Chain A
């Protein structure tokens, strides 16, 4: 029986080749996109869930307030790890991981081994508790003791491979310009995704005792990430309450002991480690973190794409039902039960879905490299099948096949088996009346389903257009400075450069292709640091203000074309020790409530010497446009900084680049040169959103393609059904144009209706997305109009394509059609 059903199913599908092919292609693309999204979402959810004790691991983050201004950051003071461990028995282990700047891809360390220099990104400091909390798999060394001694370093397997090849790394000595470190461990970084991303960890006790002591006292110096592992019985909310009580008491004492006149507090939040990856609200957090809303959006899109493909199946199958009416009538007459017939149709759907799945998985495997590039991942289909979650994935695939078959097969089965066999077999008049009634239901349901497809398509098109418009808007936004033709050279923290800096800078400047140079601790698009400023010079009356801080050389403002509003800029004749020390932006003037900014005295981090504000510059966007412009203070520091800026002649780019390379080689032969163009760096700030844009574009294309395929198939059947009517209309004088318009009109109306349904929803969702930017476009009616017209155009083209042949043929042929 089962064999018979499958045999007939396969025969029917083969006989209706065109229909089968169209269904399989649509379904396969739908499933492939669905699988891609599944793999992507799964890889994101897996972040930090593979640690054995992940349920007990928490990251401590801080809410940090000074004079009513609140900052939320992932960093905490160094001291709280030891405060937590020593004062709170619920804490089993605690550790610090020092802040490095993982967002800055050029921030690398040069490490020497065997007279060769290697660059290692992301080196941080921590202690042995790190590997007790996070059970990284060690390929070499003992995680328990790896970081217990000073001047030891643990490397990731990638870096170990880079430096040592296949030789064992353990016990080898690596040197930086400051110290020599012994390799005490190699861990496998690739094993699982984590927000923690480092390639080297130096033992924290390598720092001088004096520095550690300074760090251990301060409550407001945010330098590191703090992680704790709690005992199974601990209640983190209760712990958080108790710890915050302790912290506010201690921080107050710290303020009072320092004689500071501020209203401030630091509050700490305990965050489950598995939630870290989805937190995008904190400053100084992992750049790999994503907004979990994106995952929901992708999940919904995946569902929509699959729905669109399933709708194709349902629509084509029910439209085809008229052709099968006789077969069904005959089967019923021969004694088939309704159940058997339903099973027959579901099994046809199953065969089709199964073939589509096989094709989809091949497609996924084939396109995986392109997809990985798109989403910055290293996903593999086989890897996912054989991973820890492989059973889940396999089960998910099997359930999907069954579910998809049942869902898409049961509606046609229901419609088809409802035919009354006597009416069907008795004659055409009865059949006609049967058909009219049948059309009333199945036809309307088909319309409803097609409307759903159009709603999804139009929604996707509008969203893609709005994302595109916003990204172009950001690209063209007047940032308040000139980002063009600025080369930013990362200066190593190493000492050779520092010795040669003045000579290097003047050599660099001495080329006609270089228009201007400067140095800075930071610049737009790069990491910024908040500092505390003490306003006024009377220590008993001091006001504390927090603001972002850039140390810059002369020509910085001229080079970036930042406008001076008041006072003067730094000049090369200024001295770093001069009392004329600060320049502020407009936002700082407002935040510090300075009526007469020029001449106001202030000091950085409570230094003894106070300096004057000498100039006010126009506000410019030094942070991504998600954020408003915050107070910024510049200090004149013409000596060595982290970045060298060179403004180059646009027409002599190549000459400028080779000059920079030559000079670097002459002065720093043993160091890598890392430079980037400022405009490129700024563009990379929106990498996540650009990624969204690419994904949306692809998803839109797929949705539209699948919908069009379905529309093509559906209109094929419906036009075939109307062949005779088309013939009659032609006989009566209808022109080809009139008849095509008549055929298309129904669908165009549906597109319009779908557009009206999709618009408010998309308007709401896209406005929410735009609200994440402080500066964004306004959504106007054009996006909706264009999307609806575009979809109408596609639908119209599809129908013209299909109806062309039927409309062109002689009416005499059409009239014979029955």
Chain B
């Protein structure tokens, strides 16, 4: 599903150059649940951003669904992203001005779904994630765990093939963290590919493969489930 060759990302700040990713070769198959781990600043989030096509300044090759995307236009990438990828962030990244319902509905609007279909689909997701009673609230009226639930709902609403999760439990207590991890696990079982960046060893146990990054390079890979 995903393959990168020689993926390199360099940050330029004033006179200093920082290499965030250094010739990363990385492959993810359909149905994988990959955990990317490593110390702060090792390039985890950068890798995730590139895979999610929200960071387009890098060198090397990136194949998404067998298609080379690094040279593709912004519009094409946007189309690929909105159709196939869902995002979950550490700080939820909900839009403060929109209600729970509207936040979840937004990707469908961008996909051009009709109103009736949207209503049906959002209803479905909201019910399955048990947040129906909060659908008219604004994000600031929710707890962190509730916000992340909404974020997951938003990520899955368009039935993406891939979910990219950037420390999804980083801002949550252990109980809410576990809830979110269970949700991701369920999704993975249903066939959704998941790539998750995390600091948490415990969260990583949900994955079937762990990739360790250090100074922008993959240093080893565990086939988690085999260990």
Tell whether A and B belong to one assembly. yes
A interface with B by C-beta (< 8 Å)? 429, 432-433, 436, 724-725, 727-736, 738, 810-813, 815
Contact among B89, B95, B154 with A815 in the assembled complex (CB-CB below 8 Å): B89
Q: Are A731 and B54 in contact (CB under 8 A)?
A: yes
| CA distance in complex: A738, B111 (Å) | 12
Q: Does chain A have a CB within 8 A of B93?
A: yes
Q: Are A735 and B140 in contact (CB under 8 A)?
A: no
Contact among B56, B75, B83, B154 with A735 in the assembled complex (CB-CB below 8 Å): B75
| CA distance in complex: A730, B95 (Å) | 12
- By a CB distance below 8 angstroms, the chain A residues around B56 are 810
Per-residue interface assignment for chain B, residues 146 to 183, with 1 indicating a CB less than 8 Å from any chain A CB and 0 otherwise? 00000000100000000000000000000000000000
Q: Are A729 and B93 in contact (CB under 8 A)?
A: no
Given A731-B54, A735-B110, A810-B57, A436–B82 Cβ distance below 8 Å? no
Given contacts A733-B81, A736-B74, 13 further A-B contacts (CB under 8 A): A436-B138, A725-B96, A727-B54, A727-B93, A729-B95, A735-B78, A735-B110, A810-B49, A810-B55, A810-B56, A810-B57, A811-B54, A813-B55
- By a CB distance below 8 angstroms, the chain A residues around B33 are none
- By a CB distance below 8 angstroms, the chain A residues around B81 are 731, 733
Which residue of A has the minimal Cβ distance to B141? A433
Q: Are A812 and B107 in contact (CB under 8 A)?
A: no
| CA distance in complex: A732, B111 (Å) | 9
| CA distance in complex: A724, B75 (Å) | 20
Per-residue interface assignment for chain B, residues 75 to 88, with 1 indicating a CB less than 8 Å from any chain A CB and 0 otherwise? 10011011100010
Contact among A436, A735, A736, A812 with B54 in the assembled complex (CB-CB below 8 Å): A812
- By a CB distance below 8 angstroms, the chain B residues around A433 are 140
Minimum CB–CB distance from B105 to chain A (whole Å) comes to 10
Q: Does chain A have a CB within 8 A of B131?
A: no
- By a CB distance below 8 angstroms, the chain B residues around A731 are 52, 54, 81, 87, 93
Contact among B46, B54, B57, B89 with A730 in the assembled complex (CB-CB below 8 Å): B54
| CA distance in complex: A730, B74 (Å) | 11
| CA distance in complex: A725, B74 (Å) | 19
Q: Which of B198-215 contact A (CB under 8 A)?
A: none
| CA distance in complex: A158, B185 (Å) | 98
| 29 cross-chain CB contacts under 8 A | A432-B140, A433-B140, A436-B140, A724-B93, A725-B95, A728-B93, A729-B95, A729-B106, A730-B78, A731-B54, A731-B81, A731-B87, A731-B93, A732-B87, A732-B106, A733-B83, A733-B107, A734-B110, A735-B78, A738-B110, A810-B55, A810-B56, A810-B57, A812-B46, A812-B49, A812-B54, A815-B54, A815-B89, A815-B93
| CA distance in complex: A813, B46 (Å) | 11
Q: Does chain A have a CB within 8 A of B97?
A: yes
Q: Are A432 and B96 in contact (CB under 8 A)?
A: yes
Given A432-B140, A728-B95, A733–B111 Cβ distance below 8 Å? yes
Q: Are B95 and A733 in contact (CB under 8 A)?
A: no
Contact among B82, B96, B140 with A733 in the assembled complex (CB-CB below 8 Å): B82
- By a CB distance below 8 angstroms, the chain A residues around B93 are 724, 727-728, 731, 815
Minimum CB–CB distance from B49 to chain A (whole Å) comes to 4
Minimum CB–CB distance from B102 to chain A (whole Å) comes to 12
Most chain B CB within a 10 A radius of its CB, from A725, A730, A736, A815? A815
Minimum CB–CB distance from B109 to chain A (whole Å) comes to 8
B interface with A by C-beta (< 8 Å)? 46, 49, 52, 54-57, 74-75, 78-79, 81-83, 87, 89, 93-97, 106-107, 110-111, 138, 140, 154
| CA distance in complex: A785, B97 (Å) | 32
| CA distance in complex: A810, B55 (Å) | 6
| CA distance in complex: A141, B95 (Å) | 85
Contact among A432, A732, A815 with B110 in the assembled complex (CB-CB below 8 Å): A732
Minimum CB–CB distance from B59 to chain A (whole Å) comes to 15
- By a CB distance below 8 angstroms, the chain B residues around A813 are 55
| CA distance in complex: A813, B154 (Å) | 21
Q: Are B140 and A812 in contact (CB under 8 A)?
A: no
Given A725-B95, A810-B54, A812-B49, A732–B140 Cβ distance below 8 Å? no
- For the complex of A and B, 4 pairs with smallest distance between CB atoms: A733-B82, A812-B55, A733-B110, A811-B54
| CA distance in complex: A724, B54 (Å) | 13
| CA distance in complex: A811, B55 (Å) | 7
Minimum CB–CB distance from B161 to chain A (whole Å) comes to 14
Which residue of A has the minimal Cβ distance to B92? A728
Minimum CB–CB distance from B41 to chain A (whole Å) comes to 14
- By a CB distance below 8 angstroms, the chain A residues around B82 are 732-733
Minimum CB–CB distance from A423 to chain B (whole Å) comes to 13
Minimum CB–CB distance from A737 to chain B (whole Å) comes to 10
| CA distance in complex: A811, B95 (Å) | 14
Which residue of B has the minimal Cβ distance to A811? B54
| CA distance in complex: A725, B154 (Å) | 15
- By a CB distance below 8 angstroms, the chain B residues around A811 are 54-55
| CA distance in complex: A433, B96 (Å) | 10
Which residue of B has the minimal Cβ distance to A815? B93
Contact among B46, B79, B154 with A732 in the assembled complex (CB-CB below 8 Å): B154
- By a CB distance below 8 angstroms, the chain B residues around A728 are 93-95
| CA distance in complex: A164, B138 (Å) | 87
- By a CB distance below 8 angstroms, the chain B residues around A735 are 75, 78, 110
- By a CB distance below 8 angstroms, the chain A residues around B140 are 429, 432-433, 436
Which residue of A has the minimal Cβ distance to B89? A815
- By a CB distance below 8 angstroms, the chain B residues around A725 are 95-97
Contact among A432, A733, A815 with B78 in the assembled complex (CB-CB below 8 Å): A733
Minimum CB–CB distance from A160 to chain B (whole Å) comes to 74
Which residue of A has the minimal Cβ distance to B49? A812
Which residue of B has the minimal Cβ distance to A739? B110
| CA distance in complex: A730, B79 (Å) | 11
Which residue of A has the minimal Cβ distance to B75? A735
- By a CB distance below 8 angstroms, the chain A residues around B75 are 735
- By a CB distance below 8 angstroms, the chain A residues around B87 are 731-732
- By a CB distance below 8 angstroms, the chain A residues around B52 are 731
Which residue of B has the minimal Cβ distance to A433? B140
| CA distance in complex: A731, B110 (Å) | 11
| CA distance in complex: A731, B81 (Å) | 8
| CA distance in complex: A145, B199 (Å) | 108
Which residue of A has the minimal Cβ distance to B98? A725
